[in-house]
């Protein structure tokens, strides 16, 4: 199993991940040996990061189906968030926005803080691409509150703070902040 960080930084303009392609491919080869929901979700993320969006969408569909039959409601929601991430990266922004909005509402209603933070952060990234910067900033700030309450969300907190700085800079007409200095140990922010 590789210990190399996969996400190295985030593009300050798009907030998309900059990755170590070799580390991502190595981890994908390891993850493809397994069929669990956790492994499927990891494969979705890795395929998305590698730009293999059609494969990522197929895996996301499989994860969503599997989560409905074998997982909890939280597992199902997480799979839907990942599928919406893929739709976002495929350029289906309105589809991703609608699904992420439903996911935010569900996570908040059930008080699933980690999932609320995950959905809000990703909806914020869609808002950035749609150039709805005030909406993006609002989502990132809400995501940060959920993520700061989660003691296991270190990389997610850092990614969210970076997104807030980048969006504030855009709103104020300044250049984007420098890239995140440290690689991220998590593959999914």
Q: Is the pLDDT of residue 186 over 90?
A: no
Residue 73: alpha-carbon gap to chain centroid = 19
- pLDDT reported for residue 152: 74
Q: Which domains does the chain have, with CATH numbers?
A: 7-171 (1.25.40.10)
* Cβ atoms within 10 Å, residue 178: 10
Tokens of 116: 């609320």
Q: For residue range 50-76, what is the model confidence (pLDDT) as tens digits?
A: 999 999 999 999 999 999 988 799 999
Of 4-13, 98-107, 125-134, the range with the lowest mean pLDDT is 4-13
How far is it, in rounded angstroms, from Cα 96 to Cα 69?
Answer: 23
How far is it, in rounded angstroms, from Cα 131 to Cα 135?
Answer: 9
Q: For residue range 16-51, what is the model confidence (pLDDT) as tens digits?
A: 999 999 999 999 999 999 989 999 999 999 999 999
Query: pTM of the full predicted structure?
Result: 0.91
């Amino acid at each position: 199993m590789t210990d190399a960080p996969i996400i190295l930084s985030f593009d300050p303009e798009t907030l998309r991940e900059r990755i170590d392609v070799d580390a991502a491919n190595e981890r994908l080869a390891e993850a493809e040996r397994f069929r669990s929901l956790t492994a499927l979700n990891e494969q979705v993320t890795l395929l998305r990061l590698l730009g293999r969006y059609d494969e990522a969408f197929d895996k996301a569909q499989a994860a969503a189906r599997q989560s409905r039959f074998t997982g909890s409601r939280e597992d199902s929601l997480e799979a839907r968030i990942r599928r919406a991430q893929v739709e976002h990266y495929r350029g289906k922004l309105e589809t991703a926005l609608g699904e992420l909005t439903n996911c935010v509402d569900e996570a908040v209603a059930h008080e699933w803080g980690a999932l609320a933070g995950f959905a809000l952060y990703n909806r914020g990234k869609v808002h950035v691409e749609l150039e709805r910067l005030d909406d993006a900033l609002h989502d990132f700030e809400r995501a940060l509150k959920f993520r700061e309450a989660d003691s296991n969300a270190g990389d997610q907190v850092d990614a969210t703070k970076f997104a807030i700085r980048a969006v504030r800079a855009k709103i104020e007409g300044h250049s984007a902040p420098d890239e995140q200095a440290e690689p991220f140990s998590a593959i999914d922010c």
